[in-house]
Amino acid sequence: MTESDVETTDGTRSTEGVGRDAAGLSETGSDLAVHLDGITKRFPGVVANDDVDLRVERGTVHALLGENGAGKTTLMNVLYGLYEPEAGRVVVDGEERAFDSPRDAIDAGIGMIHQHFMLVDPMTIAENIALGNEPTKWFGMAIDRDRIRSEIRDLCDRYGFNVDPNAVVEDASVGVQQRVEILKALFRGADVLILDEPTAVLTPQEVEGLYDVLEELTDQGKTIIFITHKLEEATHAADAITVLRDGESVGTVDPGQTNREALAERMVGREVILEAESEPVETGEAVLSTRDVTVEDARGIEAVSGIDLDVHAGEVLGIAGVDGNGQSELIEAITGLRTPDEGTITYDGTDITAWSRRRRIENGMAYIPEDRQENGLVMPFDLVENGLLGSQRSPQFAAGGRIDWDGVRDHTEDIIETYDVRPPDANAAAQSFSGGNQQKFIVGREFERDPSLVVATHPTRGVDIGSTEFIHDRLLELRREGVAVLLVSSNLDEIRSLSDRLAVIYEGEFIDVTDPDDITEEDLGLRMAGQRPDEETHDGPDTGESQ
């Protein structure tokens, strides 16, 4: 165990090791909701948790911070009964417990909300919340739906959730779906809630709403443990932060007594540059152009309305906007996943509007998709097979009409090493990796295609701080090499620091295209909410033509 500056129960500070009695509490700890004592968990070839100690005080928010593959989710899966540790004890409310399954953990008051929600889309919110735990009436002959709705409304009133039990889940926003998962755990009597990367799929507005939810839950006596790799949410929302690195605890700190730089160094083991620095470069000809592109969504509603844009060689054009304003449909049209209803798309001066996805890849268009599991990977395939996706006909891997699997494996292992995919196992199925490691693999595969255009949608979503730094550096390196980059991101710091020009999309239109240095974060937020630039200051939205 390493030493750490730990806050004791009397408010003083010490530098005791983060061990059994580091916080000055008794072994069981009457103030502790959870005590994981010396937890060790191994997988073949990997020690995921190595003698980890975690103490979580009742009625607090405790962040578990670390890089992808640091052992955060494994540790919480031990607490939730999904894994049995090789060594160590699980103590809940002062009582040592041995969980054989999540059902045992649920019965002990532990609930877990996974990064990818476990909801049945066609069912109502009430049906999802009660699924598998439905109260009955008439001597068990029928489900008591009135009681379910009543209990859910009581929970909503108690915790301030604005949720309609009769709404269908597939019609609900991501933020509402997350509240449904929390309500599902509360419905089952959870006193300790584990949230795995809770902001990974949320918009900035939904993140703020989640913080309000966490505050209300702890005010009502609930205990929250949330897994994260994001420094800002750990320091903003947590009462205490435990940092894991390479399966070991490297300290528990008070957020008020540390900063982002110190936490990043704890996570990675070295100094980390938190903000990318984009230096001016000379741009070339337009690599990608769209003219009057109009796209309808799956419901037949116009999602993109006559968009013009140009992305030049050696330029990053960023697109900022609240999710659901047409950016997904625009990117799908550009990358060949959807055919535009009107307009043209040109690539290196050639009309590619009707080109297939494969033909675009073969001509140098790389794509990091918004949904890594739906469009980026075949989840049951191993990484070698996923490393070949999009290159099945490439002479590099398929000379003479036969796939060179040894060459594909070598290429895949290079991606794994360069982009720090953990665990470094090319034979493992994509579905066995964490979301962040899935993302790193996709980014590596796409960046290494030798592209002339990179379409990057949320490239660092779910990725830890060290890998984010690497991806940003690699993206800017491609830009210096003359690659055109179209970047879509909900991370405003990321998109402002990387972009040479910034387009704001609202209800399917660009309402402003500007230099990121010329707009404040407040004004950018207003643009994203639909406020157009002052007509006295601007001559109207820029069409994307070179300046």
Beta bridge partners of 143: 136
What's the mean pLDDT in 255-263?
93
**pLDDT tens figures, 82-139:** 999 999 999 999 999 999 999 999 999 999 998 778 899 999 999 999 998 888 788 7
End-to-end CA distance of the chain: 56
CB neighbour class for 354 (10 Å; exposed up to 12, middle 13-18, buried from 19): exposed
Pairwise pLDDT comparison (232 vs 484), residue with the higher score: 484
What's the mean pLDDT in 16-29?
37
CB atoms within 10 A of CB 87: 13
pLDDT of 174 over the 60 cut: yes
Between CA 30 and CA 462 the distance in angstroms is 35
CA neighbor of 35 nearest in space, from 242, 227, 246, 248: 242
> CA 127, 112, 180: angle at the middle one, nearest 5?
35
CB atoms within 10 A of CB 395: 9
Q: Say whether 513 sits in a helix, a strand or coil.
A: strand
CA neighbor of 80 nearest in space, from 41, 126, 27: 41
Q: Please, what's the b/e burial string for 90-109 (b: 16 or more CB within 10 A of its CB; e: otherwise)?
A: bbbbeeebebeeeeebbebb
- Whether 365-450 and 274-362+453-459+483-547 are alike in CATH topology: the answer is yes
Which pLDDT band, with edges at 50, 70 and 90, does 10 fall under?
very low
Instruction: Give percent of the chain above pLDDT 70.
Output: 91
CATH of the domain spanning 365-450, picked from 3.40.50.300, 3.40.47.10, 3.30.830.10, 2.40.30.10: 3.40.50.300
CA neighbor of 533 nearest in space, from 547, 546, 517, 518: 518
Q: How far is CA 446 from CA 103, 233, 298, 378, in A?
A: 41, 29, 27, 15
Tell me the domain boundaries of the chain: 1-109+191-272, 116-190, 274-362+453-459+483-547, 365-450
Structure-block tokens of residue 411: 């290429």
**Any idea which of 17-31, 164-178, 214-228, 494-508 has the lowest mean pLDDT?**
17-31
Beta bridge partners of 510: 505
> What pTM does this model have?
0.69
The fold adopted by the segment(s) 274-362+453-459+483-547 is Rossmann fold (3.40.50)
Which pLDDT band, with edges at 50, 70 and 90, does 29 fall under?
very low
Three-state SS for 75-132 is HHHHHCCCCCCCEEEEEECCEEECCCCHHHHHHCCEEEECCCCCCCCCCEHHHHHHCC
Pairwise pLDDT comparison (281 vs 241), residue with the higher score: 241
Beta bridge partners of 42: 47
User: Phi/psi at 45 (nearest 5 deg)?
Assistant: 80, 0
CB atoms within 10 A of CB 505: 23
pLDDT of 145 over the 50 cut: yes
Between CA 7 and CA 199 the distance in angstroms is 27
Between CA 254 and CA 387 the distance in angstroms is 42
Between CA 213 and CA 207 the distance in angstroms is 10
Q: Would you give the DSSP letter of residue 338?
A: S
What's the mean pLDDT in 205-227?
90
Q: Provide the pLDDT for residue 319.
A: 97
Pairwise pLDDT comparison (353 vs 270), residue with the higher score: 353
**Any idea which of 97-101, 251-255, 296-300, 361-365 has the lowest mean pLDDT?**
296-300
Mean pLDDT of the chain: 87
CATH superfamily name and code, 1-109+191-272: P-loop containing nucleotide triphosphate hydrolases (3.40.50.300)
Helix (H) / strand (E) containing 387: helix 383-388
Which pLDDT band, with edges at 50, 70 and 90, does 30 fall under?
low
Pairwise pLDDT comparison (13 vs 410), residue with the higher score: 410
